[in-house]
Structure 1
Amino acid sequence: MKQSKLTTGKTNIIGITGGVGAGKSTILSYIQDNFNAMVIYSDQVANDIKKKGYPAYDELVALLGPEVLGEEGEIDKGKMAEAIFKDKTLLDKVNNVLHPAVNTFIINIIDSERAKGELDFVIVEAALLIENGYKDIVDELWYVYADEDIRRQRLKASRGYSDEKIDGILSKQLSDAEFREHCDFVIDNSRSEEEAYKQIDNKLGEWKKKWQV
């Protein structure tokens, strides 16, 4: 295991990633509830920056046309998906608008929280943290791991996914070896939640003790 780069006395930035069904949401909820931390969900940021008044809004409307707007003038997710479905070349163009905008938005939050210095941790969650270069932005990258059989069981139980749909999703994600190569810390979330929580407590124990005093 690499030596931790987290330090006391400052706001540490941790990126948390992992494959679908690994249980990232459970891990993130535990950290937010038990440590002096903020969690930034990249999917939520991607939704927010498509709203009127944000830079990505104007770019997306210019790219996709006013047909994607709903009655209130906001971008309608269904209409946007339909436009992309009709013209496959638009997907890359939309991603080229959204990904940089999401990154900029998140970096601005990180800079603001570091300047305030009130939090021990800012946690950034995204499926594509590694691919989008967050290694250079965060202090540590964490990988939430669960073995494939467990992930499949979870996805079938919680989302009703078929094996075919799961196969398609997994084929587009990084392998376990690739996640481990790029990440500083691995949380094994294959078993009980309590076992996963112990791993977090051991990693961040000094902060947990501080905030329990």
Structure 2
Amino acid sequence: MVHDQTQAANRGTIVIGLTGAIATGKSTVAAMLANLGACIIDADALSRLVMQPGAPTFDQVVQEFGPEILTEDGKIDRAKLGARVFADAAALSRLEAIVHPAILAEAETQLRAGVARGCQVVVLEAIKLLESGLHRRCSEVWVVTAPREQQVQRLIETRSLPRAEAELRVDAQPAPESRFPLATVIIDNSGRPEQTREAVEREWRRISVSLPPSPTDGGQMNLRKWIDTHPGFTMWAALAVGMVLIFWFTSGDAGMRLSQRLFVALVCVLLAGLCTWIVNWE
């Protein structure tokens, strides 16, 4: 349920706090929400931003962890830094103490900007959403989950990490269950992508009910948003229209009466519905 007080602070914008452990698929869910029309704030991207050369935290991080974490062109090597801090809980805490205030400030700036430009749904994706207190700025908290072995395999495949380091990074984080008490929605990302997409679209339809009419469409439903939230019906309609048009324009010289052509057109519509049902059946 959307918290009324937070919703008022966000001026009608629904802010979804999207969190979960490493390699559970937060970015996958965020991309799905972006396709549905949400504005995305990625805390990981913000961490890159605040640690760029010239940023206030850059010098602090280098001073704390030494010049050996730098690349040849003078940037922070995130792989080297990650290997250092995920093997040492105290080092990780020191890094977070340096960069998290800057990330929080930038997240707040981007969140206010999203509300100001009229984003109806803003997604704040952050692995430390709850620990940092950012969830207090959110209307809802969505937690993405996946089994530990799946997390490890994803890290091995997507980041080319050795298994031992992948396991170290997974185990360095709080247990997934620790996030559940504050979760509005739990997205299980252990199955097929279409199963995750179905869960995301179901929750999107739920929150869409509380969205005010967009000022850019005169209070009428945005067509693209409607299509995104009704993919099955859209597929049926598109397929049915296509089949009927093909039949109608190719049967003109077949000597069929109008009633016969209308009957076949109806069959095309029903066949399109059957095909759509088969494609979406699980």
Alignment of 1:181-196 (within 5 A): 181-196=181-196
Q: Tell me by how many angstroms 1:162 deviates.
A: 4.2
- Once residues 100 and 165 of structure 1 are traced to their aligned partners in structure 2, the CA distance between those partners, rounded to angstroms, is 27
| Mapping 1:86-125, distance limit 5 Å | 92-116=93-117, 118-125=118-125
TM-superposed CA distance for 1:95, in Å, is 2.9
Q: State the 1:135 CA deviation.
A: 2.1
Is 1:212 matched with 2:214? Answer: no
AA aligned opposite 1:145: T
Instruction: Give the structure with higher Rg (CA).
Output: 2
The 1-side partners of 2:56 and 2:149 are apart by 41
Q: 1:68 to 1:207 in 2, by over 3 A?
A: same
Residues of 2 paired with 1:52 and 1:168: CA distance? 28
- Structure 2: runs of 5 or more not aligned: 210-220, 228-282
Per the TM alignment, residue 23 of structure 1 is displaced from its structure 2 partner at its CA by 1.5
Q: 1:76 to 1:189 in 2, by over 3 A?
A: closer
Identity level (%) = 23
Normalising by structure 1, what TM-score? 0.76
Measure, in 1, the Cα distance between the counterparts of 2:92 and 2:154: 29
1:1-213 alignment, distance < 5 Å: 3-5=1-3, 10-35=12-37, 37-52=38-53, 54-57=55-58, 59-60=60-61, 75-77=75-77, 81=81, 92-116=93-117, 118-205=118-205, 207=208, 210=222, 211-212=225-226
Higher mean C-alpha deviation, range 142-151 or range 55-64: 55-64
Q: Supply the distance in 2 between the matched residues of 1:152 and 1:77 (Cα, whole angstroms).
A: 22
Do the aligned residues in 1 keep the contact of 2:15 with 2:121 (CA within 8 Å)? yes
Higher relative CO (CA 8 A, sep ≥ 6), structure 1 or 2?
1
Q: Give, in angstroms, the shift of residue 165 of structure 1.
A: 2.5
Count of residue correspondences: 205
1:139 & 1:212 partners in 2: Cα distance? Answer: 22
Q: Relative to 1, partners in 2 of residues 1:57 and 1:21: Cα closer, same or farther, differing over 3 Å?
A: closer
TM-score of the superposed pair, with normalisation by structure 2: 0.60
Tell me how far 1:148 sits from its aligned partner.
2.5
Task: Give a deviation string over 1:64-101, Cα, whole Å, max 9, x none.
Answer: 789988887x64437x949x78xx88764443221101
Instruction: Report deviation, 1:104.
Output: 0.7
CA distance 1:48–1:193, shift in 2 (3 Å): same
Q: Which moved more, 1:124-133 or 1:56-65?
A: 56-65
Distance 1:65 1:149, change over 3 A: closer
Residue by residue over 1:107-154, the C-alpha shift from the partner in whole angstroms, topping out at 9 and shown as x without a partner, is 1111222223x2122111121111111221211111011122333343
More helix by share: 2
Give the distance between the partners of 2:145 and 2:135, measured in 1 at CA.
18
Q: CA RMSD in A?
A: 3.5
Which segments of 5 or more consecutive residues in structure 1 lack a partner in the other structure? none
